[in-house]
C-alpha cells in the first residue's frame, strides 16, 4: 500500500495517505493487536471493540482507494467488522434488559454468528445465482488467486502465482 491513489469519500476531504506509511502501519498493527487481546479477554471490551471496528473501516477504505472504481478490492474486512458490531450492540442491549454478563455475552455471540452466517449464505447464493457451479472450478480459483497475488507483501507473490499455475492444486482447494 502506497498512499491513496484513488481517493473517495473521506479521503477526498482529508489526505489520509499518512495512514499508509510504514511507521503508521506498524503503530496501527500494534494497536489493533492490543485491541484484539483487550476484546478477547474482555478488558475494556466496548472501547476495544468499537476501536477495532473503526480501524477495520479505515483499513477497508484504504484498500478500496487502491483501485479506480474499487474494482480489485478485497472486501474481507466488512464481515468481521459487522460481526463485532452485532456482538457489541446485542450485548449492550441484553445488559440493559437486565441479563447477567454471561447471558449477555452469549446473546452477543449469537448475534455475531447470525451476521457471519448470513454473510456466507448470501455470498453462496450470489455465486450460485450468477455463475452456477462454475465458481467451484480450478480456473475460477486460479484467476482469483492471480488477481489477489499483487496485494500484500511482494515476497508472497511468487508463491501465490505458483499455486495459481497448478491446476491440480487449485482443483483441490476449490473443493475445500
pLDDT tens per residue across span 31-82: 999 999 999 998 999 999 999 999 998 888 888 887 766 554 556 788 899 9
Mean pLDDT of all residues in 12-37? 92
Prediction pTM value:
0.72
Residue 175 phi, psi dihedral angles, 5° rounding: -75, -25
Given pLDDT bands bounded at 50, 70 and 90, which one contains residue 149?
A: confident
Is the distance from CB of 131 to CB of 116 less than 8 angstroms? no
**Stretch among 112-116, 117-121, 133-137, 155-159 having the lowest mean pLDDT:** 133-137
Q: What is the rounded CA–CA span in Å between residue 36 and residue 13?
A: 30
User: For residues 66 and 64, what is the distance between their CA atoms, to the nearest angstrom?
Assistant: 5
The predicted pLDDT at position 167 comes to 86
- Residue 102 or residue 140, greater confidence: 102
16, 62 Cβ separation under 8 angstroms: yes
* Cα-Cα end-to-end distance for the chain: 30
* Mean pLDDT for the stretch of residues 152-163: 84
* C-alpha pair distances (Å), 89 with each of 10, 40, 49, 57, 111: 25, 16, 10, 17, 9
pLDDT at 142 over 90: no
Amino acid at each position: 500500500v502506497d498512499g491513496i491513489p484513488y481517493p473517495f469519500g473521506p479521503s477526498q476531504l482529508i489526505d489520509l495517505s499518512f495512514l499508509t506509511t510504514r511507521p503508521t502501519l506498524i503503530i496501527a498493527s500494534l494497536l489493533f493487536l492490543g485491541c484484539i487481546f483487550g476484546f478477547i479477554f474482555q478488558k475494556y471490551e466496548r472501547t476495544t471493540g468499537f476501536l477495532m471496528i473503526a480501524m477495520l473501516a479505515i483499513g477497508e477504505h484504504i484498500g478500496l482507494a487502491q483501485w479506480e472504481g474499487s474494482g480489485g478490492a478485497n472486501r474481507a474486512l466488512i464481515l468481521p467488522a459487522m460481526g463485532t458490531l452485532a456482538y457489541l450492540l446485542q450485548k449492550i442491549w441484553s445488559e440493559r434488559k437486565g441479563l447477567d454478563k454471561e447471558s449477555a455475552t452469549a446473546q452477543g455471540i449469537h448475534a455475531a454468528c447470525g451476521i457471519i452466517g448470513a454473510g456466507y449464505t448470501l455470498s453462496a447464493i450470489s455465486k450460485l445465482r450468477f455463475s452456477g457451479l462454475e465458481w467451484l472450478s480450478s480456473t475460477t480459483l486460479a484467476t482469483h488467486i492471480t488477481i489477489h497475488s499483487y496485494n500484500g507483501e511482494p515476497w508472497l507473490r511468487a508463491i501465490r502465482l505458483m499455486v495459481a499455475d497448478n491446476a491440480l492444486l487449485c482443483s483441490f482447494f476449490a473443493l475445500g
